[in-house]
Amino acid sequence: MKKGMIILKALIATVIFGALYFYAVFPPINLQDEGFYFFLVVLVIVFFIAYVIFSFGRRRAADVIFDRSTYKTMSVVKPLGVIIAVIVVVFIIGTIVSVPIFRAASYRDLIKVETGSFTDDVAEITYNQIPLLDKASAQKLGDRKLGELADMVSQFEVSGEYSQINFRNRPYRVTSLYYGDVWKWINNTKKGLPAYMRLDMITQEVEVVRLEDEFGACMKVSPYEHFNELLERFLRFRYPTYIFADTTFEIDDAGRPYWIAPHIKKTIGLFGGRDVVGIVLVDAITAECKYYTVDEIPQWIDGVFPAPLIVEQYNYHGLYIKGFINSIFGQKDVTQTTAGYNYLALNDDIYVYTGITSSGGDDSNIGFMLCNQRTKEARYYSVPGAAEYSAMRSAEGVVQHLKYEATFPLLLNVAGQPTYFIALKDNAQLVKQYAMVNVERYQIVATGASVAECEKNYIRLLRNHGDDVDVSGGDVNESTGIIAEIRSAVIEGNTYFYIRLEGEGRFYRTSAAADEFVITLNPGDAVIISYVPSDTGIYAIQMIERAQNDIVDESELSGMLTDLDAEEAAANDYPLPDAGAGEPQTVTVVPGGSEDGGSDDWYTFEDDQAG
């Protein structure tokens, strides 16, 4: 066989193998991707093997390949060797120019970190912004919800994605379904995935969104397909040169599902300095794609910069803050993130939170960082105190008899104090209580069955430790009145009291563990109640105390005045209620002493009509 024909056949075989490899593995055709160099080397090796087979036949091919003496007779060996050498040299040079020893300043500047003020930037937030459930708890609730759906439970499973997003200004976790196995995929792939789940992180309610009912069709593209509709392969065929980070599942404000694929570029040398320069937005139902640069991304999209990438970039920033040499010797001002991160919903965006510690990696933090996942705006806050895992152990110690497990905390501003907020889960991964741990004094730990109750207990502890607590920033209202009835109930070993005031239909709730004072109250006592509003009709008490003044009805007052001489009352500035007023009046009776210092009681009467 002629040499030219042999080379042509080897090339055809190599192209066929390369096409199959590309379809199966779909590497990016990009010199910045390390996997691309492996792909090129494999193609060269395949061409060489095909050339030997077509030249010497399949029987002799193995002997020829392993007998180096025959290479001298093959003219293709030298060109193939040169190609491999070039690939290796480019890879080595690309690696060298990307290492931090030469580019420490570039690695440091991958993320711009500003210094923020904790009290100015992290104001007290309303509780509908706090994500109360971690991913594991959300998965349990999602699996339980799927078990209630007779038409889906036998064919589909719930994906473990559970992306955290802001949906209509509330924190949610959303996830799609996936096919139970390959046979169920065969039965259902023509129609597509029929639904996704969204979980309200405040109410812990799980909603199944049936796509045919809402949008007229199911999801055609997802990471759970097997051929052209497989999301990664679908993206590679349309963007063959793009390097993508892990895709995430999100929904827009109308509830329509999308896949977010962050577009990665290496910005330092050939392989260093990964950063997001844009995203590909894939409509999960129609498979339509649209590219956005980081400056064009719509407001509703949250997961542009993956949390692991943000943590990686900050660690470069903290390590090379004063150059490469300082990162090894001296390590002045060198910092790193703690072993974990969480998310916080703020200003209709999702922020990644992580603690910052010194290079020694001890059990204390020197501050923390918040970074916007959509814009990568990052701020560092100098709040020294306990590290997150130390706070978690403190919270677990308070409820050790219940064997609850602490989730990774959030850092919040509670009553002007930097505070770790922690959810406590039982063995079934369901949230049972909440804990607040003071960052600077982590021995101050409060727990509660609700967020409001937990905050109330926390504020009480702060006051007991001599803090001048400011609670003006919270959603706290105040009500004053006479107790009409008190009910009690034991819930999970705690006694809760439900108080209703005269003239009101709502109840106020607190526990004996939170405030022993409530045990001393009886119907008819006058109290002042600070509470957090609720849509349920049961309001969580922040603080309760006896009213300093006795509140009495006007009919009771008239009996008190029977023996009072009208002239004496007038002479001593005791104005009486207007007898002609048609509406009932409330009069405050203040006990005191006689004006000359004697022990006789005297009273001052005030109403809306008489000063």
pLDDT in tens, 215-269: 999 999 999 999 999 999 999 999 999 999 999 999 999 999 999 999 999 999 9
The yes-or-no verdict on residue 601 having pLDDT over 60 is no
> CATH for 477-548?
2.40.50.140
Fill in the DSSP letter of residue 597.
Answer: S
**CA 510 to chain CA mean position, Å:** 29
Of all residues in the chain, what percent carry a pLDDT higher than 70? 85
H or E segment to which residue 51 belongs: helix 34-66
Using the predicted structure, report yes or no on whether residue 592 has a pLDDT greater than 50.
Answer: no
**pLDDT given at position 451:** 82
The CA distance from 258 to 276, in Å, is: 18
Q: What residues contact residue 234 under an 8 Å CB cut-off, 6+ apart?
A: 221, 228, 282, 287
Residue 190: band (very low, low, confident or very high) from pLDDT cuts 50, 70, 90 = very high
Q: Are 494 and 513 in contact (CB under 8 A)?
A: yes
Mean pLDDT along residues 148-162: 93
**Contact status, residue 39 vs residue 30, Cβ threshold 8 Å:** no
Residue whose tokens read 């889960």? 425
Range from 71-80, 219-228, 599-608 carrying the lowest mean pLDDT? 599-608
Count of alpha carbons within 13 Å of 423, Cβ hemisphere only? 21
Other beta carbons less than 10 A from residue 101's beta carbon: 10
Distance separating alpha carbons of residues 603 and 570, to the nearest angstrom: 12
Q: Taking the alpha carbons of 117, 118, 121, 124 in that order, is the dihedral positive or negative?
A: negative
- Quick check: 164 and 173 in contact, CB under 8 A? yes
Instruction: Please state, in angstroms and rounded to a whole number, the distance separating the CA atoms of residues 214 and 252.
Output: 13
Tokens of 531: 């509470």
Indicate the pLDDT class of residue 129, thresholds 50, 70 and 90: low
pLDDT number for residue 590 = 43
pLDDT 10s digits, 383-424: 899 899 999 999 999 999 999 999 889 888 888 888 999 999
Whether the CB-CB separation of 127 and 202 falls below 8 Å is answered with yes
Amino acid at 402: L
Closest CA to 54 of 105, 9, 92, 96: 9
115: confidence class by pLDDT, cuts 50, 70, 90: very high
Residue 75 main-chain phi, psi, to 5 deg? -70, -20
Domain segments of the chain: what residues?
3-96, 388-451, 477-548, 553-611
Averaged confidence pLDDT in the chain: 85
**N- to C-terminal Cα distance for the chain?**
119
Bridge partners, residue 351, by sequence? 344, 372
- Under the banding of pLDDT at 50, 70 and 90, the label for residue 469 is low
Q: What is the pLDDT of residue 454?
A: 87
pLDDT, mean of residues 83-104: 96
Note the pLDDT of residue 427. Answer: 87
Tokens of 435: 């804990």
Cα 586–chain centre separation: 50
Calculate mean pLDDT across residues 72-88. Answer: 88
Mean pLDDT of the region 538-556? 67
Q: What is the pLDDT of residue 127?
A: 58
String of DSSP letters for 164-218: EEEETTEEEEEEEEEESSHHHHHHHTTT-B-EEEEEETTT--EEEEEHHHHHSS-
28 closest CA partner among 273, 288, 301, 236: 236
pLDDT band at 36 (very low <50, low <70, confident <90, very high): very high
Q: Give pTM, 2 decimals.
A: 0.78
What radius of gyration, in Å, describes the C-alpha atoms of the chain?
A: 35
Give the rounded percent of residues in the chain with a pLDDT score beyond 90: 58
Residue 131 token pair:
């994500």
CB atoms within 10 A of CB 381: 19
Is it the case that residue 429 has pLDDT exceeding 80?
no
Supply the pLDDT for residue 609: 41
Fill in the amino acid letter for 282. V
Least confident of 136-150, 164-178, 463-477: 463-477
Burial 439-451 (b: 16+ CB within 10 A, else e): beebebbbbbbbb
What is the rounded average pLDDT of the residues 330-336? Answer: 93
